[in-house]
Chain A
Amino acid sequence: MSVTGLLLIGFLVVHLAGNLQLFSDDTGEHFNAYAEKLKSFGPLLYVAEFGLLALFVAHLALGLRVTFENRAARSQRYALDRDRGARSFASSTMVVTGVIVLVFVIVHLLDFRLREMSPDGLAAMVVRRLSEPAGALIYIVGVGALGIHLSHAFRSAMQTLGLNNTRYDVPIARAGKAVAIVLGVGFALFPLVYFSGAKHSTHSASVRAAVPSTQQRSLADEAVSSRASFESSSSGHSEEQR
């Protein structure tokens, strides 16, 4: 689980870096060019995608095995069961967040990978999807669950691989939090920005992954409060694309 999990984190870092191309210009040309470049690898892309799928399935299968073995290790439950406060919300919900991420990944693949490419480009498809209330909600919940999953995952993987010790425990714990925040917040930026319509303001192109969390929260607030402005901006937006 630890090895497949860490490799999947590696993929997520590259995925986020690719997505950030969306913010590098207003037209989405850079992102479309990046998508075209990936496509130009032809059969190699299929090899990479198959590898990724294998990693994901392996992580899932190992997770299922561990979960079933763990359930089987205590068939008579405690009548009264109290934690000592060591386990976190994230660590005790790994199965739940894992299942949410699985469902999300299936929706995500149906949205952008298994659907026919729109003639106006992938960037336009992404923006359209993330501007819909349902789309934005699905993506925010999906990457939110991913962030929570990762906040336990990284340190846990390090511990399982024996890379943790009294000297490195604190830095590893911090690195784990950083991985969760950078990836969780990083991916959440896209639905937040497109749903709130912030991308269509002039300075939006400079939004980066390293937005401080306060600013992040204000974006989230904006997403909630600017329904009305979204209506107008999204209609303007679809005209733009047609």
Chain B
Amino acid sequence: MSSSHDTHAAHGAASTHGAHAEKKSLRLTLHVWRQRDPNAEGKFATYKLDDVSPDMSFLEMLDVLNERLIAGGEEAIAFDHDCREGICGACSLTINGQPHGFERETTTCQIHMRRFEDGQTIYIEPFRANAFPVVKDLVVDRSAFDRIIAAGGFITARAGSAPDANALPIPQVAADAAMDAAACIGCGACVASCKNASAMLFVSAKVSHLALLPQGQAERNSRVLAMVEQMDKEGFGNCTNESECEAACPKGISVSNIARLNREYLRALASSD
């Protein structure tokens, strides 16, 4: 949704004002991480682009580069993407040292080249964490998150069809907090930005949104214990409460969820069921 709005807005501005400077294409130097397979040694490859449209999204810029690589008989750069409208969590990339780039609460697919300067050098690396092994180039295997969800991020109660409004009393505060936590798209930027490669923000968001709602109560204790156990098994680091994850999260998930996760964990440990 927002991506098409953005693009139209950019076109509109350019055509009405005839702003020549805004439409001027960019020359960029890209240092892109290339790695043949999980076991191969990776290294940066340098590519120069001298006609990047400022209206392109970051991923479209990579598409253009890939078309040229393919035309030149080289192998295309592998990177993850799907919806390209900031809601699926498939895209990743560490752009100039920051997962999803420098814009706050924005996924890589929602970054546009007009935010970069002519002549800029851009480093593009995969998300780095041992729990997210590189598959190829910029693609990392984030199935550790799937295994954490499989360990407990679900409810077993039959939810049925949507109930009548207010049939299930949920305080507005709880509904809002649950919705905020449920905004997590599982992209892994929290892990990638954490100095310890900890997955606490992701797990806390998933535990929180279910613990806050009545449907999540049945497995409330077993869920948090199982998900934390799986998280530790996957080899993520520990949380040292520096909040870089919150600042890097494209959905603005708050670290107050991590405090709730810790609360839920202690509560479950103290419980007899």
Contacts and interface: CB of A to CB of B under 8 A. Distances in A.
Given A79-B123, A79-B125, A160 B241 contact: yes
B238 A70 contact: yes
Main secondary structure of the interface of B (DSSP, over half): mixed
B259 A74 contact: no
B247 A84 contact: yes
Contact of B197 (A70, A87, A91): A70
A82 B237 contact: no
B113 interface: no
B44 A79 contact: yes
B92 interface: no
Interface string B233-255: 00111111111101110000011
A56 B129 CA distance: 31
Contact of A73 (B123, B134, B236, B254): B236
Contact of A84 (B237, B248, B261): B248
Interface stretch (A127-135, A163-171, A177-185, A219-227): A163-171
A70 B196 contact: yes
B128 interface: yes
B96 to A, nearest CB: 6
A152 B197 CA distance: 19
B81 interface: no
A21 to B, nearest CB: 35
Nearest to B259: A164
Interface of A: 66, 69-70, 72-88, 91-92, 94, 152, 155-156, 158-166, 169
A83 B255 CA distance: 16
A92 B195 contact: yes
Contacts of B102: 82
The DSSP consensus for interface residues of chain A is: loop
Given A161-B266, A169-B256, A72 B98 contact: no
A67 to B, nearest CB: 9
Contacts of A87: 195, 242-244
Interface in B2-36: 31, 33
A84 B128 contact: no
Interface string B89-119: 0000010111000100000000000000000
Given A78-B125, A162-B260, 5 more contacts: A74-B129, A79-B44, A82-B102, A86-B243, A92-B195
11 contacts: A69-B237, A73-B236, A74-B128, A78-B97, A79-B125, A87-B244, A158-B259, A159-B255, A160-B239, A162-B261, A163-B259
Among B131, B237, B254: residue with most chain A CB under 10 A: B237
Contacts of A78: 94, 97, 125, 128
Contacts of B123: 79-80
B237 A164 contact: no
A85 B134 CA distance: 27
B259 A84 contact: no
Contacts of B125: 78-80
Contacts of A70: 195-198, 237-238, 240
